[in-house]
Amino acid sequence: GAGVSQSPSNKVTEKGKDVELRCDPISGHTALYWYRQSLGQGLEFLIYFQGNSAPDKSGLPSDRFSAERTGGSVSTLTIQRTQQEDSAVYLCASSLGGWGYEQYFGPGTRLTVT
């Protein structure tokens, strides 16, 4: 079956511009996660959606970052006024339930801010 998909696969943007990254989770998965990974580093948690509950936004690094999940499915991560330190691979994952469940990851979006 279809896995988690993300678009675009690569995004180059100028400092100060806004970007939107999209994640299509596996159908039927109630939980969706956003992470980012800088070069040579582990994954940094950003935000977590679970069903109809309020999202856990505790990992968002600043108020320039926001995310929404429409209809319990597709999610968009928005970064406003991008900075060079935002350059990283942004990974999305989904799972059948919450944190204790196996997470299925997408291929990621590589964001480069010039």
Q: Which is nearer to another protein, 91 or 113 (CB)?
A: 91
**Minimum distance, C-beta of residue 84 to another protein, in the bound complex (Å):** 22
**Minimum distance, C-beta of residue 15 to another protein, in the bound complex (Å):** 25
Q: Which is nearer to another protein, 13 or 103 (CB)?
A: 103
Q: Which is nearer to another protein, 16 or 98 (CB)?
A: 98
- The span from the CA of 108 to the CA of 35, in Å, is 9
Residues in Cβ contact with 48 at an 8 Å cutoff, skipping those fewer than 6 apart:
31, 32, 33, 34, 55, 56, 59, 99
**Minimum distance, C-beta of residue 100 to another protein, in the bound complex (Å):** 4
Q: Which chain residues interact with another protein by CB under 8 A? A: 4, 35, 41-45, 48, 56, 58-59, 91, 93, 98-108
How many CB atoms are located within 10 Å of the residue 4 CB?
22
Q: Which is nearer to another protein, 76 or 103 (CB)?
A: 103
**Minimum distance, C-beta of residue 22 to another protein, in the bound complex (Å):** 15
